[in-house]
């Protein structure tokens, strides 16, 4: 608690610097090369963090290779997405979120208290693990929210904004949120690894992916430029708006009320 989140370190209820709040406490650490935040941890925790992030980083890189294969890239080009997050200068972060049961009284018709508001991740790829307490929800393309069943033995992979740009919209960044446990329920604990590019990495649709005559949906930018813009935004903002060359129809993200989710279809986060 001596290291308040600015944005790295410990935070409680306040998320970022722009007025977003949630029913949680968290610690956000940079785990890139030469990170002061990770190096200052107690040695046992630092060693565990390094071992975990090395392993999950490799999982994320392998997933990106498989995504490149699924996009139909030639075998010699299937490492192009992996290389974006695998360099020594890559911006890697770990976030631990703790959502205690919320004793707050609910208004009539309200189904839960916001633990972490709806948002997309700005990085390339995110890998999340949680305990057995639910609360994570994702938005489907039709706007319906569906719950993701918790499974401590699984990694949940989210596409980030940067991957959306790199694939020229073929993969959409996943809007998600967390509803805090109700009074009497168990706390939710989650650990998220964020795989980002190096600060100077150019974010633009991959030439290897673009078909003849295909236009980029986004203007070029660097990861440092996008990260700076993301820190100035609210959680629910579409951070890609200023970078779109062909803006999509505006979506209403003004409401913070948690609406009841639709039942999860069978293809969403099956528990194996």
Examine the pLDDT at 253 and tell me if it is beyond 50.
no
The full set of domain ranges for the chain reads 9-248
- The token duo for 127 is 């890998």
* Spatial CB neighbours of 145, under 8 Å, sequence gap ≥ 6: 137, 138, 139, 177, 259, 261, 262
Q: What is the pLDDT of residues 145-160, one digit of tens each?
A: 999 999 999 999 999 9
Q: What digits encode the pLDDT tens for the residues 70-102?
A: 999 999 999 999 999 988 899 999 999 999 999
Q: Answer yes or no: is pLDDT of 60 > 60.
A: yes
Find where tokens 């916001």 sit.
Answer: 114
Tell me how far CA of residue 247 lies from CA of 74, 124, 218, 231, 235, in angstroms: 30, 21, 9, 21, 19
pLDDT tens per residue, range 104-120:
776 545 668 999 999 99
User: What is the reported pTM?
Assistant: 0.85
CATH class of the structural domain 9-248? mainly beta
């Amino acid at each position: 608690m001596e290291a308040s989140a600015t944005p790295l370190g410990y935070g409680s209820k306040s998320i970022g610097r722009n007025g977003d709040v949630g029913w949680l406490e968290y610690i956000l650490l940079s785990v890139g090369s030469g990170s002061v935040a990770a190096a200052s941890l107690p040695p046992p925790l630092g060693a565990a963090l390094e071992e975990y992030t090395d392993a999950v980083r490799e999982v994320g890189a392998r997933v990106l290779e498989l995504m490149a294969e699924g996009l139909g890239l030639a075998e010699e080009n299937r490492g192009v997405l992996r290389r974006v997050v695998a360099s020594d200068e890559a911006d890697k972060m770990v976030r631990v979120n703790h959502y205690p049961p919320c004793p707050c009284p609910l208004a009539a018709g309200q189904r839960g208290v916001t633990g972490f508001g709806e948002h997309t991740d700005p990085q390339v790829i995110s890998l999340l693990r949680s305990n057995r307490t639910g609360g994570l929800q994702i938005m489907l393309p039709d706007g319906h929210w569906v719950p993701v069943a918790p499974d401590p033995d699984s990694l949940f992979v989210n596409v980030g904004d940067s991957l959306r740009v790199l694939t020229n919209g073929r993969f959409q960044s996943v809007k998600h949120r967390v509803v805090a446990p109700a009074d009497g329920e168990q706390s939710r604990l989650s650990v998220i690894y964020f795989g980002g590019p190096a600060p100077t990495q150019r974010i633009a649709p991959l030439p290897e992916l673009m078909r003849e005559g295909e236009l980029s949906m986004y203007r070029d930018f660097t990861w440092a430029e996008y990260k700076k813009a993301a820190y100035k935004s609210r959680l629910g903002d579409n951070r890609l708006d200023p970078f779109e060359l062909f803006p999509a129809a505006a979506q209403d993200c003004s409401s913070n009320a948690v609406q009841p989710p639709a039942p999860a279809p069978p293809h969403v986060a099956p528990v194996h």
